[in-house]
Amino acid sequence: MAKAIIKRILDASVYDVAAETPLDHAHTLSSRLGSPLLLKREDLQPIFSFKIRGAFNKIRLLADSGVTGVVTASAGNHAQGVALSARHLGLPACIVMGRATPQIKVDAVARLGARIVLHGDTYDEAAVHATSFATETGFAYVHPFDDLDVIAGQGTVGMEILRQHTGPLSAVFVPVGGGGLIAGVGTYVRYLRPDVKIIGVEAEGAASMTHALAAKRRVRLPLDTLDLFADGTAVRQVGKESFRLARRCIDEMVTVNVDEICAAVKDVFDDTRVLAEPSGALAVAGAKRHIADHGPMANACVAIVSGANVNFDRLRHISERAESGEQREILLGVEIPEEPGSFLRFADHIGSRAVTEFNYRFDASASTRPARVLVGIQTTDDGDRRELIRSLARRYQVTDLSDNELAVLHVRHMVGGRSVGIAGEQLYRFEFPERPGALLEFLTRLGDRFNITMFHYRNHGAAEGRVLAGIALQRGDRGPFKNLMQSIGYRHWNESDNLAYRMFLD
């Protein structure tokens, strides 16, 4: 079986449109990690993603067989690969994308001459529509990852890595979505260099390969738990063919959170001056997590920077979370005396560290209570972080809110008001697919039966819209409100007992 896919990889035709990308030494990051890290620069492809390899290899074979056109469903990078490949080979192409696809990817596909259809909020919904279109038109469906010819095209990345680095190699870190890249790269590297570890990396909220390997079968992640932040790898279920190959060559899986991904985007930028998309920085985030957990590797390791199609608007969100990912920023809720000079003394205890934000509002009705401030502080490392908390805790009541999603996403932008005389207020946090008109759609579905007592929405340019809302629920309202939430279908959490809410907004 391995020999068959190896032959497909060796026979793969990708270089009519794809480039052989460099393997660059990440000097700054290597120094910090104490372990040599090489970056396989797939962000330098003509479409800024490795996806051109598999798409062209498949479509070239389809063109040779006489197909009249091609269709696919894609979050964006595979779409660009299909569009460019079809144009190069003189075939019409139709691309079905989810409505939440970043505009930069939609525009890129349009420039390549493909017909674009925006359908559904998830890849699955777009894929169903694309399959129906293929049946109706007779076009060939080009799967983004669950196809042996696509996998073979992606496998040329592994072929280049081993050709470019002939010395000792400890591991190759590979981002995982549907599994096509790790199936191709892993199979090739394992066959020629069985001593090299193949380590897959997934976002915590989209770990379909991790769950599949644990269950020893493909599993389908629930839609309401799927994290779309790293949209290029946000796949509910890995492919049948890719899982069949990947399970034989993957040594380990690593999962990383949003903050770690954002920090890895910054790391790639620091070493290359390239802005990787979240999925493109996954492997770097995984390498950092693995080394932090297990220590430096004996030899160099490779992380595949798989793409750089990042929506510029998302940089606000990425930059904001990057400091948390490196634990360079700490977000604290601190109680200080409500008296003149308190702020000065508090600032003196912080010392020379940079304060990233300081939120406070005087409450005349609570002059006998301590003042509560929400403060962001830059720290140098985990030791500095712990020492700062210990030092402040000797003088003040301190709560570390750095990992509190409510505090990080909403409360830090809202400090300054409290509920006064509002009976039955419940706090809910919502996520919904972000697209033009999404906030209006959310409010329309919420309706006007229930009184909104607090509302915060901030467009981060991310794949999900995030809302924090206070809802006044009177006697008899809880049942109907629960039914309404179930009918809306958006992910939501009751945050009424969240400490950040109690400290600053209640």
pLDDT digits (tens, 9 = 90+) for 129-166: 999 999 999 999 999 999 999 999 999 999 999 999 99
**What topology is assigned to 2-49+151-322 in CATH?**
Rossmann fold (3.40.50)
Cα angle, residue 35 at apex, residues 30 and 40 outer, rounded to 5°: 60
**pLDDT at residue number 363:** 57
**pLDDT at residue number 445:** 76
Which one-letter DSSP state was computed for residue 249?
Answer: T
Half-sphere exposure of 143 (CA within 13 A, CB side): 20
**pLDDT at residue number 488:** 79
Pairing of strands 37-41, 23-25: antiparallel
Instruction: Give first-to-last CA distance, the chain, whole Å.
Output: 62
**pLDDT at residue number 45:** 97
Residue type (1 letter), 414: M
Q: What is the CATH architecture assignment of 425-504?
A: 2-Layer Sandwich (3.30)
**pLDDT at residue number 161:** 98
Catalytic positions, please?
A: 51, 306
CA distances from 171 to 187, 197, 200, 293 (A): 13, 4, 10, 15
CA distances from 88 to 48, 144, 194, 271 (A): 17, 18, 37, 33
Helices 180-192, 2-11: axis angle to 10 degrees equals: 100
Q: Which CATH class is domain 51-141?
A: alpha beta
Handedness of CA 486, 487, 492, 498 (dihedral sign): negative
Residues pairing with 228 in the sheet: none
Residue numbers of the chain with a pLDDT score lower than 70 = 1, 75, 102, 323-327, 340-341, 361-368, 415-421, 434-440, 458-463
Homologous superfamily of domain range 327-403: ACT domain (3.30.70.260)
**pLDDT at residue number 286:** 98
Instruction: Decide if 207 contacts 336 (C-beta within 8 A).
Output: no
**pLDDT at residue number 239:** 95
By C-alpha distance, which of 172, 323, 185 is closest to 260? 323
The two three-digit tokens of residue 192, written as one number: 């020629």
CA distances from 387 to 48, 243, 336, 351, 357 (A): 42, 45, 19, 12, 20
Q: What is the rounded distance in angstroms from the CA atom of residue 120 to the CA atom of residue 124? A: 8
**pLDDT at residue number 323:** 65
How do the domains of the chain map onto residue ranges?
A: 2-49+151-322, 51-141, 327-403, 425-504
Equal CATH topology for 51-141 and 425-504? no
**pLDDT at residue number 469:** 82
User: Does the predicted TM-score (pTM) go above 0.95?
Assistant: no
Residue type (1 letter), 202: E
**pLDDT at residue number 419:** 64
Q: What is the rounded distance in angstroms from the CA atom of residue 21 to the CA atom of residue 382? A: 36
